[in-house]
Amino acid sequence: METNETKMLEKHYGKKCGTEKLNIDGFPEPIEFDIYDGYAVCFDHKGHRYDMEYPRLKVIMDSNELSGAIIDYVDGVTTAREITPLHSLITFYTLYEDGVKIIPEE
The mean pLDDT of 72-101, rounded to a whole number, is: 95
- How does DSSP classify residue 103? P
Identify the pLDDT of residue 8: 94
pLDDT digits (tens, 9 = 90+) for 27-73: 999 999 999 999 999 999 999 999 999 999 999 999 999 999 999 99
For the CA atoms of the chain, what is the radius of gyration?
Answer: 14
Confirm if 17 and 35 have CB atoms less than 8 A apart: yes
Cα–Cα distance measured from residue 33 to residue 19, given in angstroms and rounded to the nearest whole number: 6
Domain borders along the chain are 4-101
DSSP states of 19-76: EEEE--TT-SS-EEEEEETTEEEEEEETTEEEEEE---HHHHHT-HHHHHHHHHHSTT
Identify the pLDDT of residue 32: 97
Name the strands in the sheet holding 48-53, side by side, starting at the edge strand that comes first in the sequence. 18-22, 31-36, 39-45, 48-53, 94-97, 100-101
Identify the pLDDT of residue 1: 46
Task: Look over the chain and give the mean of its residue pLDDT values, rounded to a whole number.
Answer: 93
The mean pLDDT of 69-96, rounded to a whole number, is: 95
Identify the pLDDT of residue 106: 53
CB atoms within 10 A of CB 95: 21
The mean pLDDT of 95-103, rounded to a whole number, is: 94
Identify the pLDDT of residue 77: 95
